[in-house]
């Protein structure tokens, strides 16, 4: 008896798990399409047939739990599948019993249960109450009808105990079904969510990846093929350090520290090697994944190709370094370059020279010819200076107003003075009219030159101050000349014009 019951429960449980797997892509109520509902109803009807084929033996009497399938399908799939299940069960009983009184009694039970279960399932109560109402009605109604028709049904040998066990097994079966189904439902929801995430991951332009503590890839989304040229299997198991540009490798070492902070998140830009050997700029947002004890298990990253963005940023940055009028470098870029060249000179133990140029009596020029002509004059002078500087390592910029600067690295004092004289003569040779100049009737410039062999005890600002002092000296001594900074000279207080 109990073995038969457990076999029935095993059949029901196996059926639930199997159908749960088959319909894992569909909502748990199986109500998406009529096709799904028909398949569910027919399938559950065949479960009823299987339960009738393996009845529970109670001495000389037998009972089956096939009507549990109606409870199961109406509760979790709705009216249409329930009707189909009921029809399948009735037809099978007709096939094995024929049109007999026993068939009529069992058919009435199944049909009544099916109709009333559909009515109950439409009630506006909780799913638990619906399940209780259906099970109570099904069991009570079946028991009453079987009790009334015990003799026609052929019950013998203490039929009352048979009905008691029928009630117990019916309630127990319904409880087990109600307990199993939420796990299947939850599993189906989880599966569909994973499917959604997989589809999103595969179609995102971003690359989703995970790493272990040794920075080896555990997973990378299929979009890596489109963006990087690699299949997932070509990356998984390898260290991210293999793909990162050598100049950016230190960023990897900073990941762990940055990801260990309170937020556990960091955004980093670096160059990543594609399969063809070229590099693209990548921006990765990484988040640490921790256990309950706070220990980091792995990292998850969302990465995207920002090569075009970097190119645009580079162009914008270049534009921000160019003087809008003269189209040579501006003061902002000079402030960066002087620091870089100073540091390089310290490392290489090389002298660095700075030339500051000022157009003589440029205020008089503007007053005489107007500001538009003044702008043209600045362009001519800037072009003359820029074209004369032949070394690619030398740097020319507009310092401000009518002042220009030249940085010449690895150049000693005498070499810097040669450059200064060449520039001065070249501007003078332009023969730009400046009739109100107090030097000549053509445009001239004055140049201050300073050279230092830098070390860590001197600041680059000293070089600028020395060149500025030499320029004041050139202007004080008559202009249209070059002066070199010498220790002990007194700075000029003469106002520039």
Residue ranges per domain, the chain? 2-200, 207-311, 321-484
Q: Which of 84, 91, 89 is nearest to 41 (CA)?
A: 84
Is 336 among the residues known to form the active site?
A: no
Flag whether pLDDT at 4 surpasses 90: no
Fold of domain 207-311: Beta-Lactamase (3.30.450)
At residue 317, the pLDDT reads 75
Phi-psi region of 78 (alpha: psi -120 to 50; beta: other; left: phi over 0): left
Q: What are phi and psi of 116, to 5 degrees?
A: -70, -35
Q: Which of 173, 133, 136 is nearest to 13 (CA)?
A: 173
User: How many Cα atoms are found within 13 Å in the side-chain-facing hemisphere of 140?
Assistant: 8
Name which of 137-146, 359-368, 443-452 the model is least confident about.
137-146
DSSP type of residue 361: T
At residue 369, the pLDDT reads 95
CATH architecture type of domain 321-484: 2-Layer Sandwich (3.30)
Q: Which of 257, 341, 376, 402 is catalytic?
A: 402
d(CA 446, CA 39): 96
493 versus 341: the higher-pLDDT residue is 341
Task: Strands of 337-428 (E only): list them.
Answer: 352-359, 395-400, 403-409
Per the CB < 8 A criterion, the answer to whether 60 and 24 are in contact is no
pLDDT digits (tens, 9 = 90+) for 141-159: 877 877 777 655 555 555 5
Reported as a pLDDT band with limits 50, 70 and 90, residue 128 is confident
54 versus 188: the higher-pLDDT residue is 54
d(CA 391, CA 415): 13
pLDDT digits (tens, 9 = 90+) for 283-333: 988 887 766 666 667 888 889 899 888 888 877 777 788 998 999 999 999
Flag whether pLDDT at 337 surpasses 60: yes
Is 2-200 in CATH node 1.10.1760.20? Answer: yes
Flag whether pLDDT at 492 surpasses 50: no
């Amino acid at each position: 008896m109990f073995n038969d019951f457990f076999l029935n429960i095993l059949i029901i449980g196996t059926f639930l798990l199997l159908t749960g797997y088959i319909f894992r892509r569909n909502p748990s109520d199986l109500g998406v399409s009529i096709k799904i509902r028909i398949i569910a109803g027919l399938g559950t009807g065949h479960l009823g047939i299987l339960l009738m084929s393996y009845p529970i033996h109670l001495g000389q009497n037998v009972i089956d739990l096939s009507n549990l399938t109606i409870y199961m399908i109406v509760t979790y799939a709705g009216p249409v599948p329930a009707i189909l299940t009921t029809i399948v069960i009735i037809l099978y009983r007709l096939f094995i019993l024929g049109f007999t009184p026993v068939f009529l009694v069992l058919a009435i039970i199944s049909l009544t249960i099916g109709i009333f279960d559909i009515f109950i399932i439409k009630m506006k109560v909780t799913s638990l109450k619906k399940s209780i109402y259906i099970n109570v009605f099904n069991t009570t109604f079946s028991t009453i009808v079987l009790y009334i028709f015990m003799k026609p049904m052929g019950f013998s040998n203490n039929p009352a105990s048979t009905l008691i066990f029928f009630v117990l097994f019916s309630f127990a079966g319904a409880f087990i079904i109600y307990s199993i189904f939420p796990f299947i439902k939850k599993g189906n929801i989880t599966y569909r969510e994973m499917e959604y995430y997989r589809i999103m991951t595969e179609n995102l332009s971003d690359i989703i990846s995970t790493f272990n503590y040794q920075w080896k890839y555990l997973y990378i989304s299929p979009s890596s093929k489109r963006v990087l040229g690699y299949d997932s299997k070509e990356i998984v198991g390898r260290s991210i350090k293999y793909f990162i540009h050598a100049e950016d490798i230190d960023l990897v070492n900073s990941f762990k520290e940055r990801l260990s902070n309170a937020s556990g998140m960091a955004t980093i830009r670096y160059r990543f090697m594609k399969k063809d050997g070229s590099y693209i700029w990548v921006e990765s947002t990484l988040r640490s994944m921790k256990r309950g004890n706070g220990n980091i298990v792995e990292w998850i990253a969302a990465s995207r190709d920002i090569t075009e963005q970097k190119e645009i940023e580079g162009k914008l940055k270049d534009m921000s370094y160019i003087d809008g009028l003269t189209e040579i470098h501006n003061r902002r870029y000079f402030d960066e370059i002087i620091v870089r060249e100073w540091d390089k000179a310290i490392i290489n133990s090389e002298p660095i020279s700075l030339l500051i140029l000022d157009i003589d009596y440029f205020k008089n020029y503007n007053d005489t010819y107007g500001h538009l002509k003044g702008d043209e004059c600045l362009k001519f002078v800037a072009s003359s200076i820029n074209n004369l500087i032949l070394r690619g390592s030398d740097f020319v910029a507009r310092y401000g107003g009518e002042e220009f600067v030249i940085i010449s690295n690895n150049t000693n004092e005498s070499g810097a003075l040669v450059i200064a004289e060449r520039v001065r003569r070249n501007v003078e040779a332009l023969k730009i009219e400046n009739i109100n100049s107090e030097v000549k009737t053509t445009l001239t410039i004055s140049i201050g030159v300073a050279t230092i062999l830098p070390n860590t005890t001197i600041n680059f600002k000293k070089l600028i101050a020395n060149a500025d002092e030499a320029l004041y000296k050139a202007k004080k001594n008559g202009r249209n000349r070059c002066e070199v900074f010498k220790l002990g000279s007194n700075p000029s207080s003469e106002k520039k014009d």
